[in-house]
Structure 1
Amino acid sequence: MSIHKTEGDAETAVVEVEQPPVRTGWRGKYDSALVQMVLVSFVCFCCPGMFNALSGLGGGGKQDATTADNGSVALYSTFAVFGFFGGTICNKLGPRLTLSIGSLGYSLYIGSLYSTVITQTKPRENFVIAAGAILGLCAGMLWTAEGSLMLGYATEKTKGRFTALFWMIFNLGAVIGAAIPLATNWNTGETAAASGSTYIAFLVITLVGACIPFLLTKPSNVVRSDGTRVTVERQSTWKSEFKGLFFVLKSDPWVIFLFPAFMSSNWFYSYQFNSMNGSGYFGIRGRTLNNFLYWLAQIFGSFAIGMFLDSNLTRRTRAYGGWFIAFALTSIIFGGNYAAQTSYTRASVLAEGWAPVTVGDSAYAGRAILYMLNGFYDAVFQTFCYWSIGCLSNDIRKLAMIVGFYKGLQSAGAAITFRLDSLKIPYMTILASSWGVLVAGLLIMAPVLYLRVQNHTVEDVVDAAGDVVPERETKDGEHYAADQKV
C-alpha cells in the first residue's frame, strides 16, 4: 500500500511493508528482538571488535604509526561523508545486506596492514590508505544499520540495556582480539611490532563476521519484548530517501545540538591509542596488555551506565543523571591524562636512550589503570550518546538516519585528530583538544536533554489504516498503539 506523507512543501512516497504472520515455536523465539540484537552484536564482535583490538595496540600494531595514521585519516574522512548517508543506504538495501557489505571492509583493511608486514614498501602503504578509504564507506553502512536495529528493536524501557548488552558483546570481541596479540607477541621482545600471525587471525575472524548478517531475520518478523512488532517503512526511491534525510533535520532540529557531542565521541581515540599506548612510552608487552585491559574495562563501563539508564527513575531524571556522570568522568579521567602527560613528550620518547616502560616496571601499574579508566569512559560516553538518540524516536527508519549523523560526525572528529597525529603535533596539544571538544559537546547537548527528552516519545506514526497521525505519544516503556500488539 502506498502512502503519501507530506512534510512542509515536499511529498514523500512511502511504501508500507506488509506484516507477515507471527511465527511460533523455535522460529518465534528466534524472531525475538533480543536474539536478533545479539546476532547483530556478534557481527560487530567479529569486525569492528577486531579492528578496535588492532587499533588499540597503537599504530595498527606497528612501531611507526605513520602508515596506520594515514590509513585512519582516509578511513574516517570517507566515513564522515558516507556516515551521513548510511541510514539512506540501509533503508534502501535492507539491514542484512548493508551489514554484510559493511563487514567486508574490515577484512580488506586488516589484509592491507598485513601486506605491509610481508613487504614494507611505498605501494603497500598506498594500499593501506586505499583500503582505509573503502573501509570508511563500509563502516558507515555497518554502523548505521547496527544502530538503527539496536535502538529500533528495544522498547523504551530497555534501550539502555540493549545498548549496554551490544557494547559488552562488541567489546568482548575487542577483548578476545586483544588477547591474540598479547599471546602471540609476549615473547617477541619489548620493541617489536605485532607479528604476522596476529593479522592473519584477525582477518579470518572478520570474514566470519561478514557471514553472520545472513542469519538475521527480516525486521518485519521481529517481535519486541513487550509484544509489539517492529514497524518498517521503506522509501520507494533513492530520491525520496535523500529527501527523508533532510526532513529528519527539519522535523527534529534539536538533533543539531547533539552534533558537537557526536563529533567529540571519537576525537580522543588518536590520543588514547597512539599518544598514550602507541607512542613508544610502552614496549609491545605493555601495549598488548594495556589494549586487553582497555577493552575489558569497556564491558564494565557499558554495563554500569546501561543499568542506570534503564533504572526505575523517570526518563528525564536518567537523562540528567547520565549527563552528569559523563561530565564528571570527563573532568576526572582527562585530568588524570593531563597529569600523566606532563612526564613525557613526543620528542622525549623518540630521543636516543629512551627505555620503554615494561610490564614489570614500577611506573607501569598506575599507567595501565589510567588507560583502563579511559576505556571505561569511552563506553560510558558512547552508550549515553546512543541512549540519547533512542529518546528522540522509536521509528527504525528515522533512527537509521540519526545514527548516520552520529557516525559521520564522530568519524570527522577522528579524521582530524589522526591527521594531527600524523603531522607529529605535540601530545599535549592533542590531549587539550580532546578534552575541550568533549566538554563543549556535553554543554551544548544539555539543552536538548532538558527540552527534548520527555518521559514519553512524541512522533508521527502511520496507523493501521495507512493514515499519518501527527504527534502520537508513546509512553515510557510502551510502543505506539495497542493495535500493534501481536
Structure 2
Amino acid sequence: MSMTRLKLPAFYTSPMAQVVLVGITCFATVGMFVAVSNLGAGGTQDVILYDVSQGVLYGTFALAGLVSGAINNILGPRLTLFFGSLGYVLYVGSLWCFQTQRTRWFPIFAGAVVGFTAALLWSAQGSIMMSYPLEKDKGKAFGIFWAIFQFGSFIGSVIALAINIKDGSLGAVSNSTYTAFVIIIFVGIASSFLVLPPNRVIRSDGTVVKIETVTKIREEFLGMVSLLKDWRTLALLPMFFAADYFYAYQGAINAGMFDGPTRTLNATLEGAGAIIGALFIGFVVLDNKWLARRTRGYLGLATLVILEIVIWAVTLSWQVTFDRADAAALKTAGKLINYRDDSYAGKGILFFFFYFADACYQAVAYWIMSALTNEPFTLARFAGLYKAMQSAGIAGSFGMDATSTPYLNEHLATWCIMLVSFPFAFLVIRTVKETNYEAEKVVYVDTTKESAIEDGIRGENARKHSAEKVPNKTEVVESIADM
C-alpha cells in the first residue's frame, strides 16, 4: 500500500528546478570552499600545510570516488547530497581553527573527511545534472548549475574582498570572513533536503526520470565493471585526470605573488570567469539548436582546445619572468603585487580566463558523459569515476607543489597533460549518437499508475502497468535517465 504524498507543483518536479536546487546546495557548500581556497593557501598563508591538506583531501576523494556512485544509487540523491555537504563546514572550520589556534593536524584531518564527503556530493550532483534534463538541454543544465555553484565562489570572494580591502597589508583572512563562510555553508546543508528522488521528477514531455529510486550492492558492482570494460570510459580517463590539475599551480602563484586584497580580487575574477564561461559553453555551443549533436561536441572540444592553448601560452610568457626565489624575495621585502600596481595590469584578466576555460573544460567532459547514456545509475557511476580521476590529478599536482617544484615545471606539466587528453576525447565524441532514446526505453507518467511512481516499484512492473493501459506505447523513446 502506498503512502499518500503531498502533490508537488509542476515547476518543482521539473528537471531544471532540481538542477537549480543542486546548484544552490553546491553554491553554499563547495562554493564557499572554493572561495576560501582561492584566497591563497586556503587563507592560511602556510602553503606547505595547505598543500599537504589538499593532497590528503584529493587522495581520499580519488579513492572514495570509485564507490561514491554506488553509494548514491543505494541511498538516493537527497541523503547523498546531505552527507556529502557536511564535510565542507568541518574543513572551513579547520582553517579557521588553524589561524586562531595553530592546530596543524586539524586541516589535514578535515581534508581526509571532506575528501570522502565531497565524493558523495559530486556523484549525486553529476547524476542529477546529467540524467534529469532532456538530451537537448544537457548543456544548458550544466551552464545553469555551474553558474549557480560558481556564484557561491564569487559571492564568497566578494565578501572577503569587502571585508579585507580596508587593510592593504593583510596577510591572513579575517575572523568575520570565516564566520560568513560557515553560516552560508550551513544554509547549503539544509537546502539538500529540497532535492527530489528521480521517481518524482517529470520531464516536459511527460516522462518519468526513473521508476527505480535505489539499486542493490551487487547491481552496482556489476554496473561499475561494465562501465570500466567500455573502451570509451578508458579513453576519457586522461581528460578526467587533467581536469583540475592546474589548481595547485594557480593557487601557488596566487599565494606567492600577490598580497591579501589582490588575492581576493583574483578570486572574484575567477568566479566571474567561471560563471560567464559556463553560460557561454552551455547555451551557445553545446546546446546550439542549429547543429547536430556530434557537431556540437566537436565544436565544444575545439573551443576548449583553443582556449587552453592561448591561456597557457600567455601564462608561460609571464612565468618565465620569475621563479619561487623571486616570489620569496617579494614576500620578504613586503613588495607582493597589489592590484594598484602597474605590474598587475593584465594579470587579473589571466585569472579570469583560468576559470572561464575551466568551466568550458568541465562542461565538455560532463556533456560527453551524458551523451553516452541517459541512465541515472550509470551516470552516477560515471560522475564518481570522473571525480575520482580528477581528484587523483589534483592530489598529484599538490604533491608537486608541496615539494617546491619549480613553477615552470608545474606549468608545463599542467599544460601538457591537458593537451595529451584532447585527442582521446575526440575519439569518444566520434561515437556519440544523435539520440539515445531509441536504445533506452522510458515510462510516461500518464501511462503508468501513480502508485507505481510514488512507491518506486521496479521497472519491469512499471512497464507492465504501462502496457496494460496503453498497448501502443510500449516502445516509448525518451531516456529513463535524462536528469
Indicate whether the TM-score tops 0.5: yes
**Structure 1, unaligned runs of 5 or more:** 1-17, 470-478
What number of residue pairs does the alignment pair up? 450
SS at match of 1:172: helix
> In the alignment, which residue of structure 1 is the partner of 2:167?
188
The one-letter amino acid of 2:297's match is A
Superposed displacement of residue 249, structure 1: 2.4
User: Aligned partners of 2:427 and 2:385: how far apart in 1?
Assistant: 19
User: Aligned partners of 1:234 and 1:173: how far apart in 2?
Assistant: 30
User: Aligned partners of 2:204 and 2:419: how far apart in 1?
Assistant: 36
On the 8 A contact 2:58/2:395 being kept in 1, the answer is yes
Matched, 1:134 2:113: yes
Residues 283 and 482 of structure 1: CA distance in aligned 2, closer, same or farther (over 3 Å)? closer
Residues 480 and 370 of structure 1: CA distance in aligned 2, closer, same or farther (over 3 Å)? farther
> In the alignment, which residue of structure 2 is the partner of 1:4?
none
Cα deviation per residue 1:27-60 (whole Å; 9 max; x = unaligned)? Answer: 2221111211111110000001001111111200
From 81, 88, 92, the counterpart of 1:99:
81
Identity of aligned residues (%): 37
On the 8 A contact 2:209/2:479 being kept in 1, the answer is no
The one-letter amino acid of 2:21's match is L
SS at match of 2:208: coil
On the 8 A contact 1:178/1:292 being kept in 2, the answer is yes
Q: Which runs of 4+ in 1 moved over 6 A?
A: 18-24, 462-465
Superposed displacement of residue 267, structure 1: 0.4
User: Aligned partners of 1:20 and 1:165: how far apart in 2?
Assistant: 34
Superposed displacement of residue 190, structure 1: 2.7
The one-letter amino acid of 2:477's match is A
> In the alignment, which residue of structure 2 is the partner of 1:377?
357
Superposed displacement of residue 320, structure 1: 0.7
From 83, 86, 91, the counterpart of 1:109:
91
Matches within 5 A, 1:189-208: 189-208=168-187
User: Aligned partners of 1:229 and 1:23: how far apart in 2?
Assistant: 18
On the 8 A contact 2:208/2:442 being kept in 1, the answer is no
> In the alignment, which residue of structure 2 is the partner of 1:14?
none
Matched, 1:466 2:469: no
On the 8 A contact 2:84/2:119 being kept in 1, the answer is yes
User: Aligned partners of 2:214 and 2:46: how far apart in 1?
Assistant: 46
Superposed displacement of residue 188, structure 1: 2.9
**Structure 2, unaligned runs of 5 or more:** 449-458, 464-474
* Structural RMSD (CA): 2.3
> In the alignment, which residue of structure 2 is the partner of 1:35?
17
Superposed displacement of residue 23, structure 1: 7.9
The one-letter amino acid of 2:41's match is G
SS at match of 1:157: helix
From 407, 414, 429, the counterpart of 1:449:
429
Matches within 5 A, 1:290-439: 290-307=266-283, 308-312=285-289, 313-351=291-329, 352-353=332-333, 355-439=335-419
User: Aligned partners of 2:124 and 2:3: how far apart in 1?
Assistant: 22
- Structure richer in helix, relative to its length: 2
Residues 456 and 186 of structure 1: CA distance in aligned 2, closer, same or farther (over 3 Å)? same
Residues 232 and 128 of structure 1: CA distance in aligned 2, closer, same or farther (over 3 Å)? farther
From 179, 194, 210, the counterpart of 2:158:
179
Cα deviation per residue 1:297-349 (whole Å; 9 max; x = unaligned)? Answer: 11110011011110120001101111111111110000011011112111111
User: Aligned partners of 1:19 and 1:183: how far apart in 2?
Assistant: 52
On the 8 A contact 1:460/1:468 being kept in 2, the answer is no
SS at match of 1:278: helix
User: Aligned partners of 1:322 and 1:384: how far apart in 2?
Assistant: 6
Residues 223 and 60 of structure 1: CA distance in aligned 2, closer, same or farther (over 3 Å)? same
On the 8 A contact 1:103/1:138 being kept in 2, the answer is yes
User: Aligned partners of 2:441 and 2:228: how far apart in 1?
Assistant: 17
> In the alignment, which residue of structure 1 is the partner of 2:35?
53
Superposed displacement of residue 468, structure 1: 13
User: Aligned partners of 2:389 and 2:462: how far apart in 1?
Assistant: 31
